[in-house]
Amino acid sequence: MNQAVFDCLSIALNPAIDHSLSIPHFAAGKVNRVAAEESRAAGKGVNVGVAVARAGFRVAVSGFLGEDNAGSFESLFRKYAVVDECVRIAGSTRTGIKITDPASQTTTDINFPGAEPTAANVAELRERIAKLDARWAVLAGSLPPGVPISIYEELTADLIRRGIRVAVDTSDRPLQFALAAKPSVIKPNIHELEAITGRALKSQAAVLRTARELVEGGIECVIVSMGAEGALFVTASEALLAVPPQLLIRTTVGAGDAMVAGWITASLRGLDLEKAARLATAFSLTAIDVNPRPEPRSYFPCIQITKL
């Protein structure tokens, strides 16, 4: 295989079929009635790759797909001209059930573990990634059973040695391991940041201090998503708070993935930090369930940017 060059290589080790249920006034332990449902190929790495492709860039997605239900992913990739570099493994790609409550604007996730790749599957994945060149690589999502907890660290180090910038969007121990390889960008939310630092971050100032410490440790940019309070974008020379407008939000599913895609898109376009923060926030807004869904730039005037 000849080495291919992409704008973005998105690596999805544990993708999912998202089965979303809209249940007004959802209550655990009681009978609930579904108002609407949708099933689609997803997972953080898949979502990021497709969003960057929709922005007009050449994208490949690699990772693991179960042979038994790969069709929905294959259709999605064809629709958006995403190059499929995924390794097929025995079994089915997991299903993730998302229960959204439009009344309380909350989402409950029920995530299955996924099929377990063999050692041969992991070796094949590494070989595929080694043959792909890209300006950016994104490592996003959880790990499937049986995959070494250090795989994000190892892949990050390999990609950086090849001159590829790396963004990591995961949590818990996989994120802690990945930090050792010093990826270019990480995007935890507050809870994920608390988990990897062992701190209770009760104020914006505490979040900002922690993000700056990670930058001092070798991360080029730390993006911390804080829900309706906005997101912090922190580099060695700047720190910005981007606050979105108040919208009627029915679900926040995919908003974090879209923010990563917006950041990658901004970098590929050569934007400065303020414009990148604005675009990343706008991307996240286009992912929420509002109707109609405007283009990202239509949100620009109503996103508040504050220099910290």
Q: Which two tokens stand for residue 258?
A: 């879209």
Q: Is residue 178 part of a domain?
A: no
Q: Is residue 177 part of a domain?
A: no
What is the distance between the alpha carbons of residues 188 and 254, in angstroms, rounded to a whole number? Answer: 14
**Location of structure tokens 């009627």:** 248
- Domain-ending residue, one of 119, 137, 167: 167
Q: Is residue 77 part of a domain?
A: yes
Number of residues that this document lists for the chain = 308
Report the catalytic residues. Answer: 257
**Residue 192 shares a structural domain with residue 242:** yes
Burial 164-191 (b: 16+ CB within 10 A, else e): bbbbbbbbeebbbbbbebbbbbbbbbbe
**Residue 18 shares a structural domain with residue 143:** yes
Give the count of domains, the chain.
2
Number of H helices, E strands in the chain: 9, 14
Q: Is residue 213 part of a domain?
A: yes
**Residue 84 shares a structural domain with residue 189:** no
What is the distance between the alpha carbons of residues 40 and 19, in angstroms, rounded to a whole number? Answer: 7
pLDDT per position in the chain (308 positions), as tens?
345 689 999 999 999 999 989 999 999 999 999 999 989 999 999 999 999 999 999 999 999 999 999 999 999 999 999 999 999 999 999 998 989 898 888 889 898 877 899 999 999 999 999 999 999 999 999 999 999 999 999 999 999 999 999 999 999 999 999 999 999 999 999 999 999 999 999 999 999 999 999 999 999 999 999 987 899 999 999 999 999 887 545 545 578 899 999 999 999 999 999 999 999 999 988 776 444 455 666 666 778 999 99
Domain with 278 in it: what CATH number?
Answer: 3.40.1190.20
**Residue 113 shares a structural domain with residue 220:** no
Residue 113: what pLDDT?
79
3-state secondary structure of 189: strand
Q: Is the peptide bond before 292 cis (omega within 30 degrees of 0)?
A: yes
Q: Is residue 179 part of a domain?
A: no
Name the H helices within 180-272.
Answer: 190-197, 204-216, 255-268
Distance (Å) of CA 208 to CA 3, 40, 179, 231: 40, 36, 18, 10
**Residue 5 shares a structural domain with residue 35:** yes
What's the predicted TM-score (pTM) here?
A: 0.90
**Residue 149 shares a structural domain with residue 226:** no
**Residue 139 shares a structural domain with residue 247:** no
Q: State the residue range of the domain holding 188.
A: 184-308
* 254 Cβ neighbours under 8 A, 6+ residues apart: 42, 47, 287, 288
* 178 Cβ neighbours under 8 A, 6+ residues apart: 139, 152, 153, 156, 168, 170, 186
